[in-house]
Chains A and B, each alone.
Chain A
Amino acid sequence: MAGVLVYSDSSDSALELVTLGSKLGREVSVVVLGSEDLSDQTKKVSVNGVSTVYQISSDALSNLLAGPTVDALESVYSRVSPDYMFFSSTKKGKELAPRLAARLKIGCITDAMKPELNENGITAERLVLGGNAIATVASRGPAVATIPLRAFERASGNASPNVIKIEDFQPRPTRTIVLGRKEKQKGQVNIKDAEIIVSAGRGFKKKEDLAILEELAKVLNAVVGASRPLTSDLGWLPEDRQVGLSGTTVKPKLYIAVGISGQIQHLTGMRESKLVVAINTDKNAPIFQECDYGIVGDLYAIIPELTKDLKLQLGR
């Protein structure tokens, strides 16, 4: 079968990869892995566009460590012989794809934006040089690629794909064990899926001042994001609010950058926003080159005014 095979450590992201596969006009097969009964996972990915679900359940896959996971993916790959395999650009996806590609002696493209097929491979765009440039890359022949999260809608619909259980999976001897796991402390907000984000930058002088932005956020039903100095360096907001290269990539309908200069690492994380607004005292700040609407001025004077106006207009 000359189709595509997809795998993600989260079923939701796998559905995005299904959409991509269908969009490319290929038959899509999904791999689900784990150490227990996989019927729930299988059901989740049994959506329109999926022709086959391959299951491997094995004790070796309980923590989805790279070693046994690559072994499992290799065994599915050699059975299916797809042209292309897609992973999500999660940390797990990005450690699996290169190792599998090296084993299969095929190409590997990580963080592939706008993936397309040409006569003999995948063409995609990648951000390089710290986000300053876009490289158009192409594989010669079959390849694996990792796809940024939320680049595609999740496939949906109830379908009844073939389900094939691979029973003869033989992982190599285990060399790595998991001693423990500490879940990330989650703030109660989720910037990833937010429709409106108001983000604070170093233009705020102290933590307490963020209250004026919270006020604006409330009026807009928005969530508060931040640039890196406010999360990693100052700790004014939890790390899961950080937008950018080393934080979260967001794609809201409206992104308001307040007191953020617009360094490339920040822009990389919010470039896909539908509408961008910037408020900054420095009219030469790079963020003004990347916004739809901007105000040159002091956030301390502007934010309360803007909040007041919007409150009035929106009747809140």
Chain B
Amino acid sequence: MTQQPGTKEKKNPLEIIVCFKHVIDETELRIDRANNKINFEGAKTKISDDDKNAIEEAVRIKEKNGGIITVVCVGPADAKKSTKEALAMGCDRARLIVDPSFQDGDALSTAYILSQVVKKIGKFDLILTSTGTTDSYTGIVGPALAEYLDLPQLTYASKITISGNKLTVDRALDDGIETVECEIPALVTVSREINQPRFPTLIQIMSAGKKELLEWNAQTLGINPSVVGKADSKVEVKSLSVPKSARKKVIFEGKPEDAAKQLAEALLKEGAVK
């Protein structure tokens, strides 16, 4: 349940929920251009890049204002590894949401599941997500989660300040920075430039194992499998392909003056320069 704005007792610790996605490391994928295939076998996984910024920001807010951070991930069972990393970065407890019926859902379905997770967690003041994941970069989950929970959404945050019940956010928009304010609870999506995520120390990594990590599923959350995942998705991925390059790839080597001359001639012939 969300709290009503203005009813929060100041002495209560700030309750922060931060959401991250466990994704395939796209920088290590093997791309088979000849066969138009992406080889996922043995692909490494990680916390989605910008979600680390969201986690880092949650930790910084806690360091400044005090509070408790719950980190949430809807993902496969092996997301446990990433969840522990988030705990090592400074989150206090984790909820890992794994259920076969949640697989292959669209982003709106993920947002719905997260809304049910948040309701089960109960009390919160601030939800943090990033602006988009490195795998799908839909940017849908943050605003959709805010809608499902009827929260104000403060998107593209490059700076977050909390003072009492007041939340102030600098938003990095296309044409400049907009400073907005609202009362908590609220949902904030962070921009990558907001901070530089930390690397946990060995001690932090070791103590992360002792922090509370609960696994929840559809049943724990009381979610009917037919309203989530692939069963209910309104957008489906039909196929994946490798971007094709249809470029000419005419390469000049040799002496700079010769190569430059050949290029200049080619550009004139193409009518690319006038």
A and B pair up: yes
Minimum CB distance partner of B268 in chain A: A313
Q: Check A110 against B267 for contact (C-beta < 8 Å).
A: no
**Across the interface, which residues of A come within 8 angstroms of B175, CB to CB?**
183-184
**Across the interface, which residues of B come within 8 angstroms of A164, CB to CB?**
none
**Across the interface, which residues of A come within 8 angstroms of B270, CB to CB?**
275, 292
**Across the interface, which residues of A come within 8 angstroms of B144, CB to CB?**
98-99, 101-102, 108
Q: Mark B1-34, 1 if CB is under 8 A from A, else 0.
A: 0000100000000000000000010110101000
Which parts of A239-257 form the interface with B (CB within 8 Å)?
Answer: 246, 253-254
Q: Mark B245-259, 1 if CB is under 8 A from A, else 0.
A: 101111111001101
CB B263 to nearest CB in A, in angstroms, measures 6
CA distance in complex: A5, B132 (Å): 25
CA distance in complex: A175, B166 (Å): 11
CB A271 to nearest CB in B, in angstroms, measures 7
**Highest count of chain A CB atoms <10 Å: which of B135, B259, B266:** B259
**Across the interface, which residues of A come within 8 angstroms of B156, CB to CB?**
91, 95
Query: Is residue A65 contacting chain B, with contact meaning CB distance below 8 A?
Result: yes
Minimum CB distance partner of A291 in chain B: B247
**Interface window among A53-61, A150-158, A304-312:** A304-312
CB A61 to nearest CB in B, in angstroms, measures 15
Query: Is residue A107 contacting chain B, with contact meaning CB distance below 8 A?
Result: yes
Interface size class of chain A, counting residues whose CB lies under 8 Å from the partner chain: 35 or more
**Across the interface, which residues of B come within 8 angstroms of A313, CB to CB?**
264, 268
CA distance in complex: A291, B105 (Å): 37
Q: Check A306 against B264 for contact (C-beta < 8 Å).
A: yes
Q: Check B177 against A182 for contact (C-beta < 8 Å).
A: yes
Query: Is residue B176 contacting chain A, with contact meaning CB distance below 8 A?
Result: yes
Could you list which residues of chain B lie within 8 angstroms of chain A, going by C-beta atoms? 5, 24, 26-27, 29, 31, 38, 106-108, 111, 134-144, 146-148, 152-156, 168, 173-183, 189, 192, 233-243, 245, 247-253, 256-257, 259-261, 263-264, 266-268, 270, 272-274
Q: Check B237 against A66 for contact (C-beta < 8 Å).
A: no
Which parts of A132-149 form the interface with B (CB within 8 Å)?
Answer: 132-141, 143
Q: Check B251 against A275 for contact (C-beta < 8 Å).
A: no
Q: Mark A19-46, 1 if CB is under 8 A from B, else 0.
A: 0000000000000000000000000000
Query: Is residue A298 contacting chain B, with contact meaning CB distance below 8 A?
Result: yes
Q: Check A305 against B257 for contact (C-beta < 8 Å).
A: yes
Q: Check A134 against B256 for contact (C-beta < 8 Å).
A: no
Q: Check A302 against B256 for contact (C-beta < 8 Å).
A: yes
Q: Check A254 against B267 for contact (C-beta < 8 Å).
A: yes
Q: Check B27 against A130 for contact (C-beta < 8 Å).
A: yes
Q: Check B273 against A254 for contact (C-beta < 8 Å).
A: yes
Q: Check B136 against A128 for contact (C-beta < 8 Å).
A: yes
Given A175-B5, A295-B251, 7 extra CB contacts under 8 A: A98-B144, A106-B234, A136-B239, A139-B234, A182-B179, A254-B272, A292-B247
CA distance in complex: A79, B252 (Å): 60
Query: Is residue A129 contacting chain B, with contact meaning CB distance below 8 A?
Result: yes
Given A91-B173, A128-B240, A131-B243: A179 and B181 within 8 A (CB)? yes
Query: Is residue A207 contacting chain B, with contact meaning CB distance below 8 A?
Result: no
Contact of B143 among A66, A137, A254 (CB under 8 A): A66
Given A102-B143, A103-B147: A132 and B272 within 8 A (CB)? no
CB B3 to nearest CB in A, in angstroms, measures 13
CA distance in complex: A70, B135 (Å): 27
Query: Is residue A109 contacting chain B, with contact meaning CB distance below 8 A?
Result: yes
Minimum CB distance partner of B247 in chain A: A292
Given A175-B183, A182-B176: A130 and B240 within 8 A (CB)? no
**Across the interface, which residues of B come within 8 angstroms of A114, CB to CB?**
none
Q: Check B235 against A137 for contact (C-beta < 8 Å).
A: yes
Given A291-B247, A292-B247: A110 and B139 within 8 A (CB)? yes
